Amino acid sequence: MTLPPPSREALTALSNCLEEHSPQEILAWAVKIYGERLAMATAFGAEGCVLLDMLAQLGPLAKLPFIFNLETGYQFPETLALRERIQERYGLTVHFVRPKETVEQMEARFGGPIYHTNPDECCRLRKIVPLRKVLKDFDAWVSAIRRDQTPDRAQAGIVEWDSKFGLVKISPLANWTREDVWAYIRTHNVPYNPLHDRGYPSIGCWPCTRPVREGEDERAGRWAGFQKTECGLHSRRTVRSS
């Protein structure tokens, strides 16, 4: 049964209320309210690994969300290996959601890679379109964004209407800091991507991610050389889907 879309006013009031609650409490609320109609996307960043650990603590009787990873075909081997570690550690299944074209098919169609010539289109085809396709079957989705990561994310509510994808968006870590995330990882011995220890505070696809330099912002290694800080999943602007 699909839940009717809530009003923006109701979501804002709810979000304000949840500001004082822990991410664990927010996740437990989301699972209780949405059940099988809840999805969670993870790219296995530090924040996503924290949320997966928190979900696992809800217990075996909890109806966990549909957890998935957008497998673009360009992910680091370390990221793919972390998926296996996460699944083994917690007994969770993280499904791959893939584009309709393989990397080889797409690059053949364009006459080569487009990640260094048109990264927005590459992100649209490898991430936005597959995400829109999978989210159409759900009423709400969980993201691992923090407000202090980018200007777009600074506007995120704990709960809000995601007009780009047409469902409720829940961001339990919105008011956490990077320090909060890593304190949780250390305290709870959460598995994380070893690339974080090699100068990659933010990890995306390998062609568009480099280590950051001393004094740089934590997302400076993403799409270096472009005026781009988001793949489009969490930006406020509308991205065409066809």
Instruction: Find, among 86, 79, 12, the residue nearest to 54 by Cα.
Output: 86
CB 153 within 8 A of CB 146: yes
Q: In what order do the strands lie in the sheet with 167-170?
A: 95-97, 66-70, 38-41, 140-142, 167-170, 159-162
Is position 231 annotated as part of the catalytic site?
A: yes
* 17 appears as a binding residue in the annotation: no
CA 14 to CA 2: how far, in whole Å?
A: 20
Alpha helices in the chain (DSSP H): 8-18, 23-34, 46-56, 77-90, 103-110, 119-123, 129-135, 178-188
Catalytic residue among 231, 233, 234, 235: 231
CA 101 to CA 74: how far, in whole Å?
A: 13
* DSSP type of residue 162: E
CB 64 within 8 A of CB 92: yes
170 bridge partner residues = 142, 159
| Amino acid letter, residue 238 | T
* 208 appears as a binding residue in the annotation: yes
Q: Which residue has the tokens 């010539």?
A: 117
CA 197 to chain centre: 20
Which residues are part of a known binding site? 122-123, 205, 208
Which residues are part of a known binding site for [4Fe-4S] cluster? 122-123, 205, 208
Residues designated as active site:
231
